Amino acid sequence: MDSIIVRGGKPLSGQIRIAGAKNAALALMPATLLSDEPLTLTNAPRLSDIKTMSQLLESLGCEVTSLQDGKVIALSSHNLTSTRADYEIVRKMRASNLVLGPLLAREHQATVSLPGGCAIGARPMDIHVTALEALGAEIELRDGYLHAVARGGLNGARVPLRFASVGATENVLMAATLAKGTTSIENAAREPEIVDLARCLRAMGAQIEGEGTATITVEGVDRLSAATHRVVSDRIELGTYMLAPVIAGGEVECLGGSVDLVRAFCERLDAAGVSVTETDAGLKVARRNGRPRGVDVATEPFPGFPTDLQAQMMAMLCTAEGDSVLEERIFENRFMHAPELVRMGASIDVQGGTARVSGVERLKGAPVMATDLRASVSLILAGLAAEGETRVNRVYHLDRGYENVEDKLGAVGADIERVRES
């Protein structure tokens, strides 16, 4: 099992290119199920989750071809052979549930295992089920599988979501493209990944309005056609690497970054005394004066502060001047990185969904254990600021969401290496 070793104390300087968004690509790939014509995705991230989604689609009869060293994914679903998403694949990744809506829309049936993924609290499927039932699907849970059928096809309807779930919005958005009539998704998620999916579906011939707002309207069409689409930049990778020079010192330009993707995050960085400058190629980040200041953070659905940047922000605040409060409002059980940061000398008190951080001047390197994807990278970031050596174990989580993290940080001056163990 691989580990990553970080030796802290090295200021960073240079450029980091931001990859295509994992969470966008994982929604875009199942869109191929809506059409018997090819879908080509460019600027694709090279991650283990992408391989898992490819395996799932191939199990349904899709053709998935990786081109240009994985940066281009060519998909074709002209000959589907199955509508069953098996547990052995689905258990590896929660986004596997995104085949449910497209299969129902095109094949009028689907059998999909309940999904797995990181252990960061319950993310119930009932929102997806209720939304698809509003379009006329009949869905029953048996033996750990959702058995769904749409007799005669799906029909457009008003779909109010009780929570602005990204996954549920994506599932019903894809399903509605081939439904008869008009669908109105209310309390829709507004994340950039939703906007990116809508743009791709529109390129395929879908009729969609309102993406990026709380109400998305879809007029169903008879069929979708071929398209080529560029995956939007990964706002979570962007935010992660923006924090690296704040923690380690120095200045880094994140190529492909945009303030629009991380505006609420940038507002918190500004309050902490961090300079974020837009350039022709992306965003340049550096501390303004010495250690950053403590700030309070509350995670919210987009356009609020992203829950997927909470762990990384905590790592930065561990060495900030003063106290900070982080409130996790999206997922329960998402402070599992806190005890590992405490092993490195951080002062953190977790009470339920709130973590109170008192900044210390310096962290100490230590062996730590990654518990989930974002926790993994938060410990690597903390290692950049720590005295001595930090060894982050169980980094298989990391490879689900970050491509070549040791190469990207190493290229801007970090002392970091991956140790491959038998």
Residue 325 CA to residue 271 CA, distance in Å, equals: 14
According to the annotation, is 330 in a ligand binding site?
yes
Pick the closest to residue 76 from 262, 264, 230, 227 (CA basis).
227
Residue 239 CA to residue 38 CA, distance in Å, equals: 33
Residue 295 CA to residue 201 CA, distance in Å, equals: 39
- Read off φ and ψ for residue 142, nearest 5 degrees: -140, 130
> Is 118 a catalytic site residue?
yes
Compute, in degrees rounded to 10, the torsion defined by CA atoms 403, 408, 410, 414: -100
Q: Which residues of 261-297 are buried (b: 16+ CB within 10 A; e: fewer)?
A: bbebbbebbeebbbebeeeeebbbbbbeeebbbbbeb
Pick the closest to residue 52 from 30, 79, 20, 31 (CA basis).
30
The helix (run of H) or strand (run of E) holding residue 218 is strand 215-219
Number of residues written out for the chain:
422
The helix (run of H) or strand (run of E) holding residue 7 is strand 3-7
User: 313 in helix, strand or coil?
Assistant: helix
> Number of C-alpha atoms within 13 angstroms, CB side, residue 251?
8
Residue 158 CA to residue 331 CA, distance in Å, equals: 27
Alpha carbon distances (Å) from 347 to 128, 356, 362? 39, 8, 11
Tell how far CA 215 is from the center of its chain: 22
User: For residue 38, how many other CB atoms are within 10 A of its CB?
Assistant: 17
According to the annotation, is 208 in a ligand binding site?
no
Check if the beta carbon of residue 324 is closer than 8 Å to that of residue 294: yes
User: 195 in helix, strand or coil?
Assistant: helix
According to the annotation, is 308 in a ligand binding site?
yes
Strand order in the sheet with 274-278: 12-17, 250-255, 282-287, 274-278
Pick the closest to residue 207 from 101, 199, 215 (CA basis).
199
Q: Which of 62, 118, 200, 318 is catalytic?
A: 118
Binding residues: 22-23, 94, 308, 330
Enumerate the active-site residues: 118
Bind-site residues for UDP-N-acetyl-alpha-D-glucosamine: 94, 308, 330
